[in-house]
Structure formats: C-alpha cells, structure tokens
Amino acid sequence: FVQRRRPDIAEWREGNLFPRRETKELTYTLTGAWERFFDAVLDYCADIVEAAGGDERRQRLNFWGTLALMRCVASSPAAAVQALRTRAGLEEEESEDALRDRVFDGGSDSLPDDDVEPAAGTDDPALNDLIAQAERLAGQSGDPKLRLLTDHLEQLIADGFNPVVFCRYIATAHYLGRHLEGKLKGVTVGVVTGELPSDERKERVDTLGDAERRVLIATDCLSEGINLQEEFDSVVHYDLSWNPTRHEQREGRVDRFGQEREVVRATLMYGANNPVDGAVLAQLGRGPHRLGHAGA
C-alpha cells in the first residue's frame, strides 16, 4: 500500500489541488434565564439518577439518558423541548450500550447518523416547568448561541462564503432554519436531516446549490457520503460532537478535491461556561473539565 498525503502531492504538481483551511473558534456565555435553565436541568438530571436508588443498572441507564438530555439542552431550546416532551422507559427502550453510543456519537469506525432527540424518560411533573422555560428561551432575543451564529453567518456571507451549519439534532436544524429564513437578506436557507431518505437529501442539496447565495443547515446525516465542495465552502460546528472524527468528516465535505475556492473556513462554536460543551471539549483533549453547574 502507498499512502500519499496532501503535502506529497504538492511536491510534484504545480498549482493548488486542495484549499487552505482557516479555522476559528467562537464562544457565547450563559447568563440570566439561560444559566438558570441549565442549572434546573442539571438538578433534574441529578434527581433522576439518585431516584434509581441501589439499582446499579438503572443508575447507569439513567445517567446515560440524562447526559443525552443535557446534550439536547446544549444544542437548542427546540431540541430540549422535544426531548423533555418525549416520555419513554429508558430501561425498556434502549440498552446501556445504545445510550452510550448515542451520547458519544459512536466509535471512530462506526459513526451513526441518528439525529433524533432522546427521551427524557420519566413522567415527572417537574418536566412541565422545564419545557416552559425552554420555550421562553427560543429565538434571537433569548438564545445567545443562535444570536452568535446569526452574526457569524452574516460575516461569512459578506466575505463571499456559502456555509454549511452542522448540528446534532433534527429539532435544532429546523429551529435554526425557521429563525434564519428571512433574517439573512438575499440568502436561501435549506435544511437537510435524517428524516429524508438519502436520495432526497442529495436532491435538496443540489436544488439549494442553484441559489446565488445559500446556507445549508444539516445534521450529521450529511457528514459523510455526500460531497458538498461544489456548492459550499465553509463549515460551522453549531453543536460539538463527542467524536473528533465527526468534526473532520464535517469539514471534509467542503475541504476536498474539487473545491474551487483557495480558502475554506471552519468555525467551532461552544459555550464559554456551558458545562456540557466543557465536558465535550475535555473528551476531545482540550483540557480537563468537570460536568457541573453552568456557573461552576
């Protein structure tokens, strides 16, 4: 076997076959109602795990289930509402291995494109208050993460880029699509999720590619299999993945042979004091972090 890397190719061919990748990190801060909501969800999750008592298997199932719920909360108010509204007995619906894979986005050689929000797992009356809080936080004024994305997309578009925004859950993708449609003047916004069969995903991407200025909102159903380099030239990681291979796959959709731009951009978004994002960054080797309250 012979393995050739990009620098090897550059040595024997004049001109640039591949674009240069520029990376950037953007952070937002949880304050006020958002920080209180995170604290309330963390308290709820702690209560669920404690309610398992001495049943070790149930403890583990509840732990993985509530961690998946917290990922939804970190993703968007819409994903949080969807997860909180879904009732299911976790010990009956999913195995511990399945829940762990859902949280960690699969292994390095097995990357599922499951973008459905997990169930909260109980009929606790406290969920109604959490759902109401999440619904109030939706939108430009209450969601600092969405506001940061909007500002960044406006800058990318002004610089002549056509971005792909990757998020973890279906509800988040549609949430972004609703709020960005019409907000970005002269730009066509499209949404592709795992709800669509693979041929329809490709068709929707092709149709969006006909627009003069465009933004694609997608879940990880598009992080492999469909090349995007002809229609798009920048990637925004709206939601972090706990699997670093996933990040490279997302960026590889536009940073590949056939990309006409000399420079592509990749942006990583996360909460500066978001406990879930902090735990993900630690998983990615970005430093230690203890999953605790947002203000901790």
Structure confidence by residue, pLDDT tens digits, 10-58: 555 555 577 889 999 999 999 899 999 989 988 988 888 787 777 777 7
For 116, left (φ over 0), alpha (ψ -120 to 50), or beta? beta
Q: What percent of the chain has pLDDT over 90?
A: 42
Strand partners, 266: 23, 235
| Alpha-carbon dihedral angle through residues 256, 257, 260, 264, given to the nearest 10 degrees | 20
Q: At what angle do helices 144-158 and 170-180 cross, to 10 degrees?
A: 60
Residue 94, pLDDT above cutoff 60: no
- The model's pTM is 0.85
More confident residue, 291 or 147: 147
Q: Please say whether the beta carbons of 42 and 284 come within 8 A.
A: no
